[in-house]
């Protein structure tokens, strides 16, 4: 639709250009031509300013209509696509039909799932797995989680199996706005290494797609670690990106290739993603490293990168659960209190205990003592475990997704710094 302003502008432009051409025709002289050039220059400048203003206006309008939301918003599952490797992608569109706020590649969505037979919503986080420049939908890609290998009788993962087995295109889910501190800064242009292990490829694919969609020419290496071809998902897409973008290098590692799988046939390395491999294929260690994968992979990579001389501030991690790898990024309260002997009181439950440093987080301390606290991610991401602090202070042992309001703490990633009374 063209607005009155645009019509006025186009009208003005036509008049100026026509005037310039008429001037050349009428005078046929250098003065006429000079006048025409001046008029043409004016028209170009007007056009430049108008386009700039319109772009700005569009951005402001977009920002206004796509402001992020608080609480949950209803999304309809537009498509459900099997990716293979027990991973399924869900394409989500806002049920209210309004625009989607932008996000940074690497961030995640938090879902409040209403499972049958549960009175409270089940809270889980899933990384956005497509580019933020894709403004029609949000996509998450979810791996089905079975019982732990050594405990085959325990129930399989609640949320992932609910997504795979019960949710279909057309269903509605409650979603909190994109958040998280693990994201790629698209305003930078330095070379990056993206490392995804298993389903940890999801935030990395979002970053890779964002780089390609933005037209950036920054050097990017994508290392993807899987057991074998059965687990390799989004292969066509990744190979197409490498073929179409000369700044993109794809390196797929099979840690346990099947007998008929030979290096060069879809994957480049037999073995795990490792710093030895980086030393082999990268020209230097002068990169920013982003990684998401199983804890053992991240544990060994962070240690070995450190030994290779990569500064800790150039290594960024995401953990998909209780983080066992200590992030190198400074936590808000870097001086985590290590002294023990603090008295923790759970006021509502009327329980009091002494902190000896071995109980893990405040959430784990509560659980071990029969105090019920809600939780979702157990990684400081979803905000489900927020607990009011009546008196005292906590220290964070991990960087929170976002800090809770003054007077509250994220029990899953905090420990007592002083004697503590909690509203739980």
Ligand X SMILES: Cc1cc2nc3c(=O)[nH]c(=O)nc-3n(C[C@H](O)[C@H](O)[C@H](O)COP(=O)(O)OP(=O)(O)OC[C@H]3O[C@@H](n4cnc5c(N)ncnc54)[C@H](O)[C@@H]3O)c2cc1C
The residues binding ligand X (CB under 6 A) are: 108, 124-127, 140-143, 145, 147-148, 151, 154-161, 199, 202, 320-321, 377, 379, 381
Contact between 43 and 152 (Cβ < 8 Å): no
Residue 308 phi, psi (nearest 5): -75, -5
Tell the residue number behind the tokens 């390395």, with chain if given: 269
Nearer to ligand FES, 302 or 399 (CB): 399
Per-residue DSSP letter, 102:
P
* Of 59-67, 170-178, 312-320, 379-387: span binding ligand FES (CB under 6 A): 379-387
Residue 422, beta-bridge partner list? 346, 389
**Residue 180 C-beta: closest distance to ligand X, Å:** 6
Nearer to ligand FES, 251 or 327 (CB): 327
Nearer to ligand X, 380 or 416 (CB): 380
**Residue 104 C-beta: closest distance to ligand X, Å:** 13
Q: Return the structure tokens found at 272.
A: 């795990």
Residue 33 interacting partner from ligand X, ligand FES, none (CB closer than 5 to 8 Å by kind)? none
Q: Return the structure tokens found at 226.
A: 């899987």
Integer-rounded Cα Rg, in Å, for the chain is 27
Residue 167 interacting partner from ligand FES, ligand X, none (CB closer than 5 to 8 Å by kind)? none
Interface with ligand FES, residue 88, by CB under 6 A:
no
11 closest CA partner among 50, 41, 38 = 50
Cα separation of 303 and 315, whole Å?
11
**Residue 377 C-beta: closest distance to ligand FES, Å:** 4
| Number of residues binding to ligand FES, judged by CB under 6 A | 12
Interface with ligand FES, residue 85, by CB under 6 A:
no
Interface with ligand FES, residue 322, by CB under 6 A:
no
Residue 397 phi, psi (nearest 5): -95, -10
The three-state secondary structure class of 362 is helix
Cα separation of 220 and 232, whole Å?
20
Contact between 289 and 302 (Cβ < 8 Å): no
Q: Return the structure tokens found at 369.
A: 């003592």
Nearer to ligand X, 321 or 341 (CB): 321
**Residue 316 C-beta: closest distance to ligand FES, Å:** 19
Contact flags string 385-414 toward ligand FES, x per CB under 6 A:
x------------------------x-x--
Interface with ligand FES, residue 111, by CB under 6 A:
no
């Amino acid at each position: 639709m063209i607005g009155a302003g645009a019509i006025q502008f186009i009208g003005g432009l036509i008049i100026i250009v026509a005037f310039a051409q008429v001037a050349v025709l009428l005078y046929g002289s250098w003065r006429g031509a000079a006048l025409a050039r001046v008029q043409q220059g004016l028209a170009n400048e007007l056009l430049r300013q108008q386009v700039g203003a319109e772009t700005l206006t569009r951005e402001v309008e977009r920002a206004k209509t796509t402001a992020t939301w608080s609480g949950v918003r209803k999304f309809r599952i537009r498509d459900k696509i099997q990716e293979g490797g027990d991973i399924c992608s869900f394409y989500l569109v806002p049920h209210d039909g309004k625009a989607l706020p932008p996000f940074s590649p690497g961030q995640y969505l938090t879902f409040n799932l209403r499972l049958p037979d549960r009175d409270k919503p089940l809270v889980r986080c899933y990384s956005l797995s497509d580019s933020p420049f894709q403004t029609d939908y949000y996509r998450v890609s979810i791996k089905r989680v079975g019982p732990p290998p050594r405990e085959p009788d325990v129930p399989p993962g609640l949320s992932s199996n609910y997504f795979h087995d019960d949710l279909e295109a057309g269903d509605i889910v409650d979603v909190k706005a994109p958040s998280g501190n693990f994201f790629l800064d698209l305003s930078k242009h330095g070379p990056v290494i993206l490392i995804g292990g298993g389903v940890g490829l999801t935030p990395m694919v979002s970053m890779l797609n964002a780089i390609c969609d933005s037209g950036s020419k920054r050097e990017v290496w994508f290392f993807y670690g899987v057991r074998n071809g059965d687990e390799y998902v989004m292969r066509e897409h990744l190979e197409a990106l490498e073929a179409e973008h000369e700044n993109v290098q794809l390196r797929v590692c099979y840690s346990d290739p099947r007998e008929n799988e030979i290096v060069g046939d879809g994957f480049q390395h037999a073995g795990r993603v490792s710093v030895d491999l980086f030393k082999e294929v990268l020209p230097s260690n002068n990169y920013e490293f982003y990684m998401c994968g199983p804890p053992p992979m991240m544990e060994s990579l962070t240690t070995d990168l450190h030994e290779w001389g990569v500064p800790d501030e150039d290594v960024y991690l995401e953990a998909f659960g209780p983080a066992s790898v200590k992030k190198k990024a400074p936590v808000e309260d870097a001086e985590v209190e290590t002294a023990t002997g603090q008295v923790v009181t759970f006021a509502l439950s009327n329980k009091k205990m002494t902190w000896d440093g071995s109980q893990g987080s405040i959430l784990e301390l509560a659980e071990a003592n029969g105090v019920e606290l809600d939780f979702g991610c157990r990684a400081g991401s979803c905000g489900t475990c927020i607990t009011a602090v009546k008196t005292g202070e906590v220290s964070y042992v991990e960087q929170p997704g976002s800090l809770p309001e003054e007077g509250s703490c994220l029990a899953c990633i905090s420990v007592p710094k002083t004697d503590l009374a909690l509203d739980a």
